[in-house]
Amino acid sequence: MLSIENLNAYYGQAHVLKDVSITVNKGEVVVMLGPNGHGKSTLLKSICGMVDSKRGKITYKDQDIIKFPSDKIVNLGITYIAENRELFPYMSTLENLKLGAYSKNARKHEKENLEKVFSLFPRLAERRKQFASTMSGGEAKMLAIARGLMSNADFLAIDEPALGLQPNLRTEVARIIKEINKQGKTILVVEQNIPQITDLADKLYVLEEGHITFEGNKDDALSNDNLKEIFLGM
Amino acid sequence: MNTKGMVTILAVTYGFIGILPIFLGDSSILMRILTMILIWSIVASCWDLIMGYAGIFSFGQVAFYVIGAYSSAILSVSLNVPPIVSIFMAGAITAIIGVIIGLPCLKLAGPYIALVTFAFQLALEPFLKGPLGKAIGSGGSRGIISVPPIHLFGMDLSSSELIPFFYFALVLTLICSAVIVVILKSHWGTAFLALKDSEDFAASLGVSAFKYKLLVFGITSFITGLFGALYVHYVGILSTRMLSMEVFTVLLIMIVVGGIGQYPGVVIGAVFTVTANELLRPMGIYRLLIMGGLVVVVVLLLPDGVTGLIRKFSVFKLRKKKKPSVEIRG
Amino acid sequence: MFIEIIDIIISGLLNGSVYALMAIGLALVYGVTKAFNFAYGSFYTMGGYFAWTLLVSMGIKGGYYTVFLTAIPFLFIVGFFLEKVLISPLRKRSDWQMKAMMLTLGLSLFLDIGYIAIFGPRLKSLPDIVEGTIDIGPFAFMNQDIVIFILSITGLLCFAWMLNNTRIGMAVQAVAQNPIGAQIVGIPKDRVFAATFAISTIMVGIGGILLSQKNFVNPQASTGIMIKAWVITAFGGMGSIKGSLYAALIIGMLEAFVGYYLGMIHIEVAVLTLLLITLAFRPQGLMGRE
């Protein structure tokens, strides 16, 4: 569904991604591990058209999207769910969700997606009039995921969904990702060492200093002593 | 730019301007242009230091220039202070006013600083024309007509003695340029660069943004006021017309052409702008039309001014590319 | 005494409502782009000259109806086009806000001198939108004032409706509140920036058509209007639309009272003093956030 070949990305003078190649197949949950600051978020942002200087090839549904602007990419069905949420602080839950369905492709399905999202996150339905800025960290995280789902995307690029959450909320986030995946969404999720999330992975990658240093499934990762210790926290 | 490059460009530019009178000293028009280049290049350099380096969006530079001019004119006309003394007193007065304006202002966000300093300029005109201004000797809307020239080494440095005045201005220009280079290359300059990157980061290094900004605001106000004073003793007359948008825009063009935060690009900008402004003078109203259009075009096509253009074709870029890349949080 | 005060209040309301229209346009652009448009006042003058050209120079049919019907698309196109050609290319740079301020400063000089070159330095007068007066009890109102007030309030209501009920309006708010969030949900930022610029051009241009009837079309009015809109936006809180509305009405009133009791020359000083006092206590303005 999505394949990246030799992607290089830069932030000013900094060369953040170096010849990164990954493949995500339809219906998979792929987990990208790696230490903080080694380019994981940049990878997701590059896919979503939010990094300007990059070269390589990003193929999604048979088109090379590397030069596409972010709004076109969203319309093609890829959505980024940011680590620090990036909600609209002075808008209500409902307005945030409606803006999530801004793209042309999403607008047609706004009503049904809203129902889906509220059944997935009953808490948000209760708080539909509340301003995003007044929400707790956990609720805001849920709203960010929910807003991402409103875009009617087939492919979700989720950036550290469990970061800074309490263990019970981490389990909840993992359950939701599993549920979304069951509904047919393909997911690429970036994490550091949250076992609940890694547990969902069909495939794992490790990104270190801008390079992919590991690729394989869970069993491969578990048989790799270094990985086991550092990233899986087991 | 490194110190060597900065000093070289300054030395070449001012050196070239400095020897021109030997050949062209007979042409009073050319001498006037050269003198104005000196004066404006320093005023514009101060603005660049404030806006391009210290990151203070001050729009009050023309006001400081005019305050310096009025202070020195009033001191010499009403109080009979010798102009050679009064120009430095004018610089000090301007610096004090600059600090007073800076105290509340520098804590505000960018556009607010621009607004308050610009409002200060706007308020200056009614003040100078009004009863309060007349009371301190501003001459109201008529202005001050007979400002005495600077008297030095038995010579009157006035608009009739162009060459001595030019060299006096050149000496002051070189001293002030040296001060600017020292500021940029000292601990302060480094602090400004740190501030530009991130105020929080600078604060963590113990750089007090406010203290440095206020200091540089005071120093540049002094220099700007000094050159305003120098100007008024040169032309001999003064009115609030100095506060027009035209002066403001011409000064802005120097920075835009030279490249903001690209010192000493602004000096080259001043050479270009003063010359162009004089050459276009026969075109009447179209001169300003062209100058306005010029700002638009230069900002669009040469965002870093001529300095950016020079850099594009020089070795600096090649060197930069080889720098090891720094990992940042991604 | 009582009648005087009512007169002053009415004049304050009238100016305040038009100021609100213009200041909110500026607040909108600042809120969305965080860049300051120094050519803003020049579009006020452009509105005035547009009306003068149609009504006086060409003597078109339909009077002000035609003027408004054509001015809105005209100003929109001018604003949209200028943003696309002049501002949008700057946006690739990290310091583009500063570059945009410099560019618009140059643009304002270019436009203002351009008006003088085309229309000459003299003031032009616009016909009144309606003639006559109406008496209500002891008060006599000029019909023109009433119509100007109604039109600017209508403009404000249209703007508020558009901001809260249309897709582009919601997109504008989204970009103002969180540009990255807006990018995530797929809002085309470039188009929103251009649309915002165009809408603000309409608002100040219409302000120019309304107020130039009372103050003449003046090629030198631009700076004054720009400063006024700027002061109001800063006073209300940069980027806050509600703040600009209240600030415009307060400043309109202040001007009317100061102008009547102390004389016109004190208006500027009074307004700036109010601004400075406000900023001393609330550096973010009346209703600014952060």
Burial code (b: 16+ CB inside 10 Å, e: under 16) for A175-191 equals ebbeebbeeebbbbbbb
- The residues with which A11 forms a beta bridge, in sequence order, are A14
Q: Which residue has the tokens 């509220």?
A: A118
Is this prediction's ipTM beyond 0.95?
no
Q: How far apart are CA A78 and CA A154, in angstroms?
A: 6
CB contact under 8 Å between B104 and C279, yes or no, is yes
Most A CBs within 10 A among B196, B322, B325, B326, hence the mutation to make, goes to B325
Query: Which chains does A contact via 3+ CB–CB distances below 8 A?
Result: B, C
CB contact under 8 Å between A102 and C187, yes or no, is yes
Q: What pLDDT sits at residue B57?
A: 83
Average pLDDT of span B51-69: 89
Q: What pLDDT sits at residue B195?
A: 66
Task: Write out pLDDT tens, residues C196-225.
Answer: 999 999 999 999 999 999 889 999 889 889
User: Residue B248: pLDDT band by 50, 70, 90 thresholds?
Assistant: confident
Task: Return the residue of C nearest to B252 by Cα.
Answer: C102
CB contact under 8 Å between B328 and A38, yes or no, is no
Residues C7, C233, C254: CA angle, nearest 5 degrees: 25
3-class state of residue B151 by DSSP: strand
User: Residue B197: pLDDT band by 50, 70, 90 thresholds?
Assistant: low
Structure tokens at B181: 């280079």
Q: Which residue has the tokens 């990059």?
A: A54
Average pLDDT of span C87-100: 85
Structure tokens at A121: 């996150």
Average pLDDT of span C180-194: 94
Lowest mean pLDDT across A29-38, B111-120, B215-224, C197-206: B111-120
Burial code (b: 16+ CB inside 10 Å, e: under 16) for C254-269 equals bbbbbbeeeeeebbbb
Q: CB neighbours of A47 closer than 8 A, spacing ≥ 6?
A: A2, A4, A58, A60, A73, A78, A80, A157, A188
Task: Write out pLDDT tens, residues A21-53.
Answer: 999 999 999 999 888 888 999 999 999 999 988
User: Residue A230: pLDDT band by 50, 70, 90 thresholds?
Assistant: low
Q: What pLDDT sits at residue B322?
A: 40
3-class state of residue B326 by DSSP: coil
Q: What pLDDT sits at residue C44?
A: 96
| Closest-CA distance of chain C to residue B144, Å | 23
Burial of C69 (0-12, 13-18, 19+ CB in 10 A): exposed
**Mean pLDDT for chain A overall:** 90
Burial of B86 (0-12, 13-18, 19+ CB in 10 A): buried
Task: Write out pLDDT tens, residues B276-301.
Answer: 988 888 888 899 899 899 889 999 99
Query: Which chains does B contact via 3+ CB–CB distances below 8 A?
Result: A, C
* Helix A137-150 with A93-100: angle, nearest 10 deg: 30
Q: What pLDDT sits at residue C39?
A: 93
Most B CBs within 10 A among C105, C233, C251, hence the mutation to make, goes to C105
In 3D space, the residue among B242, B255, B189, B196 whose CA is nearest the CA of residue B64 turns out to be: B242
- Name which residue leads in pLDDT, B52 or B91: B91
Q: How far apart are CA C167 and CA A77, in angstroms?
A: 20
Highest mean pLDDT among C211-220, C257-266, C276-285: C211-220
Q: Find out whether B274 and B44 touch, Cβ atoms under 8 Å.
A: no
**Mean pLDDT for chain B overall:** 83
Q: What pLDDT sits at residue B200?
A: 59
- % of chain A exceeding 90 in pLDDT: 71
Q: What pLDDT sits at residue B321?
A: 43
pTM: 0.87
Task: Return the residue of A nearest to C174 by Cα.
Answer: A88
- Name which residue leads in pLDDT, B227 or B215: B227
Structure tokens at B124: 């200056």
In 3D space, the residue among C203, C154, C215 whose CA is nearest the CA of residue C11 turns out to be: C215
Q: What pLDDT sits at residue A155?
A: 96
Task: Write out pLDDT tens, residues C68-79.
Answer: 999 999 999 999
